[in-house]
């Protein structure tokens, strides 16, 4: 069993930055693929970024490429999402997820464990 707890969300103006963190329990964090997903009101959940257990490869949605960076620190059992140049369309609840056997790391169906989500609001 893996528990995931996100933090770092908040309200920011367009063009600003936020760093999301996802603290994971369990000793097998380093062997899991990890992903960030988001869901805006009235929209389906979408993949934002993902990272394989070995940290390579990584995946980014086209809408965030060049602005967001995913990383993980195995020593701290923590996943990060650095979000720069934020836009109002980035407003959503952001979820982290862990997949012990994920291969297509951009697919939400590959992930077993999910956090409770953290709200990101970008004002124009």
Task: Give the pLDDT confidence of 78-99 residue by residue, as tens digits.
Answer: 999 999 999 999 999 999 999 9
Q: How confident is the model at residue 103, as a pLDDT?
A: 85
Give the mean pLDDT of the chain.
Answer: 94
d(CA 52, CA 92): 24
**CA dihedral defined by 106, 108, 109, 112, rounded to 10 degrees?**
110
d(CA 52, CA 109): 15
Q: How confident is the model at residue 44, as a pLDDT?
A: 96
**CA dihedral defined by 26, 27, 29, 30, rounded to 10 degrees?**
180
Q: How confident is the model at residue 63, as a pLDDT?
A: 97
Q: How confident is the model at residue 36, as a pLDDT?
A: 98
pLDDT at 27 over 80: no
Q: pLDDT digits over 28-57, tens only?
A: 788 899 999 999 999 999 999 999 988 889
């Amino acid at each position: 069993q893996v528990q995931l707890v996100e933090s770092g969300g908040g309200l920011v103006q367009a063009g600003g930055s936020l760093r999301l963190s996802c603290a994971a329990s369990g000793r097998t964090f380093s062997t899991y693929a990890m992903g960030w997903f988001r869901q805006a009101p009235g929209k389906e959940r979408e993949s934002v970024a993902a990272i394989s257990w070995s940290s390579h490869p990584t995946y980014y949605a086209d809408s965030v490429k060049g602005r967001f960076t995913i990383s993980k620190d195995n020593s701290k059992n923590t996943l990060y999402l650095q979000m720069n140049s934020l836009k109002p369309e980035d407003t959503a609840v952001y979820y982290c997820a862990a997949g012990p056997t994920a291969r297509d790391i951009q697919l939400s169906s590959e992930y077993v464990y999910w956090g409770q989500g953290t709200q990101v609001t970008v004002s124009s």
